[in-house]
């Protein structure tokens, strides 16, 4: 059984005096215990909304799904009280911007100790009165189990001199250290799943490498699954076991990291991989996907990528199909569905897509921007 | 594109030194309260601490480094948005380091700056067309119909429609705003454009579009670029020469081929190792560099990288700050390390001492303050 099993998720935000915004439309996502699952997409693709829907942190949005199970139980059938226990105990969250996610007037040790008291396995009162006394009068005793656990957690996430750091305030720490504090605090309730929303985006590449190593190690050591939300395919390639690619509110392709990087099937995934500036110095142009993603209120019918897709044809206005490329590797693309021999069509189609993107890259790059402008 | 060393004179005009900075320093005073200011020692943040930099006409020079390395401060100092604390800056043969006010006006026109976040660089209450046209009035370049015609042409040049001129910044997407930022930089027909993280805020597909545009504009308008980025992949795509900065100093510089093909400074190697790889067979190979960049107020003695250096050797590393010296194999390639030209084998078998052992080594070798 998957740890997290979401089928056909749709999230719509109502807008005063305007049409509703369908941020996410038809997302399937399965996270297995102990894996690192990458959820990758450009800004506006709905990846963060999907992540927040798991924590039920979307106030005012209409969320619907055929299935939204965590450990086989429907998360959206739970009461708010039950949900509060699940957040932290079962599912931890790490946000991108650690400076605004951490409390600026509490030491990081206090913040982690609080999580431990509420969600962890320590025998300390976490009632309102004792929490208030701790917060305004005594502080957490340095010999209390929750404080000792907080220091331990800081050590676990690779912070040197954890006792000293525990008594620091967030602004006194570097971005990398703060992100480690966030991870320590997410681990405070001993969760089975951590949702990490762009945990390294604000960090330098050298620091990022350290944080990702840490996530990988925690995943192996503590048997915790991580849903890693990122726009960076490099991060996915280095860290994840499986990947789900989102575009404009829908899943385009999912599979193992190897399947996706060695044998990308969806034209969008191929375009993304080509856009990564890599390889030797080039005099030529970078290949890119022409145009930009459609507004959520203005998506074409059928495949949301079809206006930018070099291989688009008539069938693309039909609802997205599910094409199984091979075990566990699914591409939602019509290219693969209308032939007698799916395999043969697959390869022909792939070749023509390649040709189209390579051959006209320079030209499209010149031409596209004009179409990029909206009439605003 | 000539990417060989600076002395190769393939084309006299192209190799003209447009911008030359020598031993440039920019220190910011730390405001520490009245008592400290009156009686204490004045402390400064040494954001840029003695940097030489040359940009030739028609070339693109990249500056890379982690946040806090001083790369943005360097960009702003050489383009005279900041006044240098020390050192000399010449632009087109003219010393501009002490210019102020009116004297700087022609420089403002010839050197343009493109900021990372166009949303905060553009006036939210003016249409983007007005924002782009403004420098034309300020510098008295064009007026009336001619002004608007120029702006409209430029909008088309960067791939925006003429009607886009009437939009306000918030109505545009991130990619469109960055195109407007480019328009604003190009409208005064500058010689040098300084880009500060031009694509960091954009998605990867948009990054590629903007980088292509930047390359094309350089060819069309015969521009020189100074490009600041933390992203080595971006720098690799658009630059001819690269300078790697660490803690306010340049630790290595050379052509793109030098830096990526034959990196000499351990810091450069660490940066390259930290780039995530998507190619098959290389995924998961990335190595992380431990530790944190040093404080710019109180940089370490000796080589500023020595506390983190994975190739730390001995007291010379912690005792003396190395100067940039030429790498024998490549002309024009320089690195600031006491231990250049060690073979791969030597490096692979070397186990550096732990940070605490380094302190002792430093103590015994009597590292000067």
Question: Which 19-78 residues of chain B touch chain A by CB within 8 A?
Answer: 66-67
pLDDT at A21 over 60: yes
Q: Which residues pair with B244 in a beta bridge?
A: B64, B252
Average pLDDT over residues B34-46: 75
B61 confidence band (pLDDT: 50, 70, 90) = very high
pLDDT tens-digit map of B133-171:
999 999 999 989 999 999 999 999 998 988 889 999 998
Flag the least confident range among A8-12, A305-309, A335-339, B117-121: A335-339
CA quadruple B15, B18, B24, B26: dihedral sign: negative
pLDDT at A356 over 50: no
How far, CA to CA in Å, does B327 sit from each of A293, B22, B322, B331, B342? 47, 20, 14, 7, 11
**A85 neighbors A120 (Cβ within 8 angstroms):** no
Choose the final residue of a domain: B242, B258, B274.
B258
- Please give the class, per CATH, of domain A34-57+82-244: alpha beta
Q: Are B210 and B254 in a shared domain? A: yes
pLDDT on residue B310: 86
Q: Are B125 and B204 in a shared domain? A: yes
Please report, for the domain that includes residue B74, its CATH number. 3.40.50.300
pLDDT at A63 over 50: yes
Q: Are B129 and B208 in a shared domain? A: yes
pLDDT on residue A360: 34
Q: Are B216 and B328 in a shared domain? A: no
pLDDT at A348 over 60: no
Instruction: Give the best-scoring range by mean pLDDT among A323-327, B117-121, B247-251, B294-298.
Output: B247-251
pLDDT on residue B363: 57
pLDDT tens-digit map of B258-300:
999 999 999 999 998 888 877 767 676 777 787 778 888 888 8
**A344 neighbors A351 (Cβ within 8 angstroms):** no
pLDDT on residue A340: 36
Q: Are B237 and B317 in a shared domain? A: no
CA atoms of B230 and A29, how far apart (whole Å): 33
Residue A237 touches chain B, beta carbons under 8 Å: yes
Q: Are B316 and B181 in a shared domain? A: no
Q: Are B60 and B208 in a shared domain? A: yes
Report DSSP state, residue B344.
Answer: H
Q: Report if residue B11 sits inside a domain.
A: no
pLDDT at A74 over 70: yes
pLDDT on residue A17: 84
Could you list the beta-strand ranges (E) of chain B: 17-29, 44-56, 60-64, 86-91, 94-95, 111-114, 192-196, 224-229, 241-246, 249-255, 325-326, 334-335
Residue A232 touches chain B, beta carbons under 8 Å: yes
Choose the final residue of a domain: B258, B276, B302.
B258
C-alpha distance from B251 to closest chain A C-alpha (Å): 16
Among B3, B163, B278, select the one facing A278 at the smallest CB separation.
B278
A376 confidence band (pLDDT: 50, 70, 90) = very low
Flag the least confident range among A228-242, B6-20, B241-255, B328-342: B6-20
Residue B284 touches chain A, beta carbons under 8 Å: yes
Query: Contacts of residue A275 in chain B, CB cutoff 8 Å?
Result: 204-205, 207-208
Nearest-5° Cα angle at A31, A26 to A32: 150
Higher pLDDT, A77 or A288: A77
C-alpha distance from A269 to closest chain B C-alpha (Å): 11
Q: Report if residue B85 sits inside a domain.
A: yes
Complex ipTM over 0.90: no
Residue B233: other Cβ atoms inside 10 A: 18
Q: Report if residue B242 sits inside a domain.
A: yes
Q: Are B125 and B243 in a shared domain? A: yes
Q: Report if residue B91 sits inside a domain.
A: yes
pLDDT on residue A277: 66
pLDDT at B81 over 80: yes
Q: Report if residue B102 sits inside a domain.
A: yes
* Chain A nearest-CA residue for B163: A375
pLDDT tens-digit map of B119-135:
888 999 999 999 999 99
Q: Are B250 and B331 in a shared domain? A: no
pLDDT on residue B364: 53
Average pLDDT over residues A26-41: 93
Domain residue spans in chain A?
A: 34-57+82-244, 263-372
Flag the least confident range among A24-28, B4-8, B296-300: B4-8
Among B176, B203, B256, select the one facing A281 at the smallest CB separation.
B256
Q: Are B303 and B154 in a shared domain? A: no
Q: Which residues pair with B46 in a beta bridge?
A: B27
Higher pLDDT, B30 or A284: B30
Q: Which of B155, B208, B260, B261 to mutate to test the interface with A (most CBs of A within 10 A)?
A: B208
Query: Contacts of residue A208 in chain B, CB cutoff 8 Å?
Result: 274
pLDDT on residue A347: 25
pLDDT tens-digit map of A218-232:
888 888 999 999 988
CA atoms of B25 and B49, how far apart (whole Å): 5
Answer whether A272 sits within 8 Å of B205, measured CB to CB.
Answer: yes
A247 confidence band (pLDDT: 50, 70, 90) = very high
CA atoms of A99 and B351, how far apart (whole Å): 36
Query: Contacts of residue A285 in chain B, CB cutoff 8 Å?
Result: 212, 215
Nearest-5° Cα angle at A362, A358 to A364: 90
Residue B280 touches chain A, beta carbons under 8 Å: yes
pLDDT on residue A248: 92
Helix, strand, or coil (residue A180): helix
pLDDT at A350 over 60: no
Answer whether B204 sits within 8 Å of A275, measured CB to CB.
Answer: yes
Nearest-5° Cα angle at A249, A245 to A254: 20
pLDDT on residue A148: 92
Q: Are B102 and B245 in a shared domain? A: yes
Residue A275 touches chain B, beta carbons under 8 Å: yes
Residue A202 touches chain B, beta carbons under 8 Å: no
Higher pLDDT, A283 or A19: A19
pLDDT on residue A357: 35
Q: Report if residue B281 sits inside a domain.
A: no
CA atoms of A87 and A100, how far apart (whole Å): 19
**Parallel/antiparallel/unpaired status of strands A193-197 and A91-94:** parallel
Q: Report if residue B336 sits inside a domain.
A: yes
**B209 neighbors B258 (Cβ within 8 angstroms):** no
Query: Contacts of residue B159 in chain A, CB cutoff 8 Å?
Result: 366, 368-370, 372-373
Q: Report if residue B8 sits inside a domain.
A: no
Average pLDDT over residues B2-14: 44
Could you list the beta-strand ranges (E) of chain A: 4-13, 21-31, 36-40, 62-64, 67-70, 73-74, 91-94, 193-197, 225-230, 242-247, 250-256, 323-326, 329-331
Average pLDDT over residues A241-263: 93
pLDDT tens-digit map of B318-330:
888 999 999 877 8
Helix (H) or strand (E) holding A371: helix A361-372
Answer whether A373 sits within 8 Å of B158, measured CB to CB.
Answer: no
Q: How many domains does chain B have?
A: 2
By residue range, what is the domain housing residue B361?
Answer: 289-369
pLDDT at A208 over 80: yes
Average pLDDT over residues B100-117: 90
Q: Are B245 and B312 in a shared domain? A: no
Nearest-5° Cα angle at B278, B274 to B279: 110
């Amino acid at each position: 059984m998957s740890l997290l099993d979401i089928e056909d998720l749709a999230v719509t935000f109502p807008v005063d005096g305007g049409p509703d915004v369908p941020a996410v439309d038809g997302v399937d996502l399965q996270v297995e215990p102990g894996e690192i699952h990458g959820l990758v997409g450009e800004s506006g693709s709905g990846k963060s909304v999907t992540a927040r829907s798991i924590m039920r942190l979307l106030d005012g949005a209409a969320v619907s799904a055929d299935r939204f199970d965590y450990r086989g139980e429907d998360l959206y059938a739970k009461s708010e009280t039950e949900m509060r226990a699940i957040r932290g105990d079962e599912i931890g969250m790490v946000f991108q911007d650690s400076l605004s996610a951490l409390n600026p007037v509490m030491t990081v040790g206090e913040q982690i100790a609080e999580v431990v008291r509420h969600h962890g396995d320590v025998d300390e009162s976490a009632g309102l009165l004792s929490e208030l006394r701790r917060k305004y009068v005594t502080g957490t005793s340095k010999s209390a189990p929750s404080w000792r656990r907080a220091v331990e957690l800081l050590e676990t996430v690779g912070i040197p001199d954890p006792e000293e750091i525990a008594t620091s305030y967030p602004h006194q720490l570097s971005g990398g250290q703060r992100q480690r504090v966030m991870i320590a605090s997410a681990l405070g309730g001993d969760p089975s799943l951590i949702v990490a929303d762009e945990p390294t985006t604000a960090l330098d590449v050298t620091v990022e490498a350290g944080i990702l190593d840490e996530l990988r190690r925690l995943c192996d050591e503590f048997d915790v699954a991580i849903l890693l939300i990122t726009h960076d395919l490099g991060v996915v390639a280095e860290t994840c076991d499986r990947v789900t690619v989102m575009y404009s509110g829908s899943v385009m392709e999912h599979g193992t990291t190897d399947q996706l990087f060695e044998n990308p099937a969806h034209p969008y995934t191929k375009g993304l991989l080509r856009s990564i500036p890599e390889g030797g110095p080039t005099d030529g142009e970078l290949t890119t996907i022409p145009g930009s993603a459609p507004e959520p209120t203005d998506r074409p019918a059928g495949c949301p990528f079809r206006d930018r897709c070099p291989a688009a044809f008539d069938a693309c206005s039909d609802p997205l199909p599910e094409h199984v490329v091979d075990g566990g590797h699914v591409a939602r693309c019509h290219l693969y569905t209308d032939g007698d021999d799916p395999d043969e069509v697959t390869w022909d189609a792939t070749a023509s897509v390649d040709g189209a993107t390579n051959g006209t890259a320079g030209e499209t790059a010149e031409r596209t921007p004009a179409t990029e402008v909206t009439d605003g | 594109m000539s990417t060989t060393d600076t002395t190769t004179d393939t084309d006299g005009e192209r190799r003209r030194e447009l911008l030359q900075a020598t031993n440039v320093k920019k220190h910011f005073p730390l405001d520490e309260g009245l008592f400290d200011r009156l009686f204490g020692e004045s402390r400064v943040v040494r954001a840029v601490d003695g940097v030489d930099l040359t940009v030739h006409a028609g070339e693109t020079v990249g500056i890379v480094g982690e946040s806090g390395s001083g790369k943005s401060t360097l960009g702003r100092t050489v383009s005279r948005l900041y006044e240098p604390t020390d050192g000399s800056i010449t632009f087109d043969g003219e010393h501009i380091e002490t210019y102020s006010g009116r004297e700087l006006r022609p420089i403002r026109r010839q050197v343009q700056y493109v900021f990372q976040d166009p949303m905060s660089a553009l006036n939210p209450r003016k249409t983007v067309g007005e924002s782009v046209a403004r420098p034309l009035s300020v510098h008295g370049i064009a007026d009336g119909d001619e002004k608007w015609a120029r702006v409209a042409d430029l909008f088309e040049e960067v791939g925006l429609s003429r009607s886009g001129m009437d939009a306000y910044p918030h109505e545009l997407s991130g990619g469109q705003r960055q195109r407007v930022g480019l328009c604003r930089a190009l409208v005064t027909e500058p010689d040098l454009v300084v880009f500060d993280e031009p694509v960091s805020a954009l998605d990867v597909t948009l990054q590629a579009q903007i980088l292509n545009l930047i390359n094309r504009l350089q060819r069309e308008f015969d521009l020189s670029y100074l490009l600041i980025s933390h992203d080595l992949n971006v720098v690799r795509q658009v630059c001819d020469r690269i300078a790697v900065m660490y803690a306010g100093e340049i630790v290595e510089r050379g052509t793109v081929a030098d830096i990526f093909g034959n990196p000499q400074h351990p810091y450069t190697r660490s940066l390259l190792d930290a780039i995530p790889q998507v190619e098959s067979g290389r995924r998961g190979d990335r190595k992380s560099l431990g530790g944190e960049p040093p404080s710019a107020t109180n940089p370490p003695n000796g080589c500023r990288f020595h506390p983190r250096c994975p190739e730390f050797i001995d007291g010379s590393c912690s005792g003396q700050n190395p100067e940039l010296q030429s790498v024998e194999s490549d002309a024009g390639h320089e690195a600031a390390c006491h231990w250049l030209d060690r073979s791969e084998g030597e490096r692979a078998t070397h186990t550096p001492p732990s940070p605490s052992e380094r302190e002792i080594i430093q103590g015994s070798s009597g590292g000067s303050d």
